[in-house]
Amino acid sequence: MRQQPHYLELLSPARDAAIAREAILHGADAVYIGGPGFGARHNASNSLRDIADLVPFAHRYGARIFVTLNTILHDDELEPAQRLITDLYNTGVDALIVQDMGILELDIPPIELHASTQCDIRSVEKAKFLADVGFSQIVLARELNLSQIAAIHQATDATIEFFIHGAL
């Protein structure tokens, strides 16, 4: 569908704001970090203050901050998640990495949404669906080969992300 110049973004995980700063100082274009709740990595909980302090640092270096909200939400978590998303938006984070499609039904500010690798995106059809419902970036399943990645890239306008190293 689209033909854009090739751009490789180095996206680094960070357990906390100190690691995020080091990743940025060592060349990361973007960092993903857990917030104060609803993240799959329980030991990577950072306060809103931590994230609010990190965002201007990252932006000063031209880097972006993505916050993970990549767990399946229970009904009683929807309202707190909505409040957290608004708070994260107000800190200036660049995007949220999410798994639960229920977030699409919440009354949230216009923050960029990335579909987590936990969405298990393996097909052109699923990638198109996620792009159509508003995800600007999709993190492909780790098991895909290069020809499968290329096919998905050609079929959607969403930015494609994939892991080249590491595990959950």
Neighbour tally for 44: CB within 10 Å: 17
* Verdict on whether the full-model pTM lies above 0.85: yes
Measure the CA–CA gap between 5 and 155, rounded to whole angstroms. 16
The dihedral through the CA atoms of 46, 47, 50, 53 has a sign that is: positive
Identify the structural domains of the chain with CATH numbers, from first to last: 11-161 (3.20.20.80)
Tens digits of per-residue pLDDT, 18-47? 999 999 999 999 999 999 888 777 666 799
Buried b (16+ CB within 10 A) or exposed e, 86-111: ebbbebebbbbbbbbeebeeeebeee
Q: Could you please report the per-residue DSSP string of 83-149?
A: HHHHHHHHHT--EEEE--GGGGGS---S-EEEE-GGG-B-SHHHHHHHHHTT-SEEEB-TT--HHHH
What's residue 166's pLDDT?
A: 59
Tens digits of per-residue pLDDT, 85-115? 999 999 999 999 999 999 999 999 999 999 9
Q: Is 79 in a helix, a strand, or coil?
A: helix
